[in-house]
């Protein structure tokens, strides 16, 4: 059996959303910033048990404010990856409120939170930051090294079916 699911990437500018998609779909990483504004749609098939889940991954490039993201981007989404940058507190200071506002627009869908750029922090910083977060089950990822990227997308696929 196969199903198709719309997945959206949410999070501040520069946290690594596009890089995570690049890593997951194309097994690549680039140090360059993509500054084009627009929505990119990628897809990848993930196996959950004996089901093929086609993840249609929507990513907004070049948008610096979550508020400016059109509702149409979020509508119809079956799941979301909320990404922050563990090396930049401003990207996770309002995590709780931002997750709540996401839930207001698309209530009840599974949201997987990713603490990205794990390669930039040491164990001590990592432990301190993660223990203070208001949410559980955060995936520690690095689009640069590939750490847990596959697992994070797969976990969301499992939650969506
Ligand atoms: P977006 O605006 O959220 O889509 O962020 P990008 O994917 O464009 O990434 C912004 C910058 O962070 C780029 O220079 C990336 O190369 C870099 N970056 C993304 N993920 C990682 C990571 O896991 N580790 C490191 N060190 N840099 C990363």
Query: Which residue of 14, 36, 82, 150 sits with most ligand 1 atoms within 8 Å of its CB, as the best mutation to test the pocket?
Result: 14
H runs (alpha helix) in 4-122: 17-26, 71-74, 95-105
| Order of strands, sheet of 38-48, starting from the edge strand that comes earlier in the sequence | 38-48, 51-61, 2-10, 79-85, 111-116, 139-140
Atom of ligand 1 nearest to the CA of 11: 3
Domain that holds residue 50: 2-160
Encode pLDDT of 26-84 as tens digits: 999 987 766 556 788 999 999 999 999 999 999 987 666 666 788 788 889 999 999 99
Whether the per-residue pLDDT at 108 is higher than 80: the answer is yes
Question: What is the number of domains present in the chain?
Answer: 1
C-alpha Rg value of the chain to the nearest Å: 15
Pocket of ligand 1 contains residue 117 by CB under 6 Å: yes
CATH number, domain of 138, equals: 3.40.50.300
29 within 8 A of 143, measured Cβ to Cβ: yes
83 within 8 A of 59, measured Cβ to Cβ: no
What pLDDT sits at residue 64?
63
More confident position, 147 or 1: 147
Pocket of ligand 1 contains residue 109 by CB under 6 Å: no
Q: Is 86 left (phi over 0), alpha (psi -120 to 50) or beta?
A: alpha
What pLDDT sits at residue 36?
59
Instruction: Report the predicted TM-score, pTM, of the whole model to 2 decimal places.
Output: 0.95
Pocket of ligand 1 contains residue 19 by CB under 6 Å: yes
Query: Residue 15 contacts by C-beta under 8 Å, 6 or more apart in sequence?
Result: 83, 84, 85, 88, 91, 116, 117
């Amino acid at each position: 059996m196969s199903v198709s699911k719309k997945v959206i990437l949410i999070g501040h500018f520069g946290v690594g959303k596009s890089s995570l998609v690049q890593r997951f779909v194309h097994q690549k990483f680039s140090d360059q910033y993509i500054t084009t504004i627009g929505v990119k749609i990628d897809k990848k098939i993930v196996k959950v048990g004996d089901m093929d889940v086609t993840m249609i991954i929507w990513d907004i490039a070049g948008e610096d404010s979550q508020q400016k993201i059109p509702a149409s981007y979020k509508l119809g989404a079956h799941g979301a990856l909320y990404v922050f940058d563990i090396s930049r507190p401003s990207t996770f200071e309002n995590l709780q409120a931002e997750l709540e506002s996401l839930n207001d627009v698309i209530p009840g869908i599974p949201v997987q939170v990713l603490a990205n750029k794990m390669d930039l922090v040491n164990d001590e910083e990592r432990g301190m930051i993660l223990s203070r977060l208001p949410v559980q089950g955060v995936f520690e990822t690095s689009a640069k090294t590939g750490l847990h990227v596959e697992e994070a997308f797969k976990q969301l696929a499992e939650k969506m079916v």
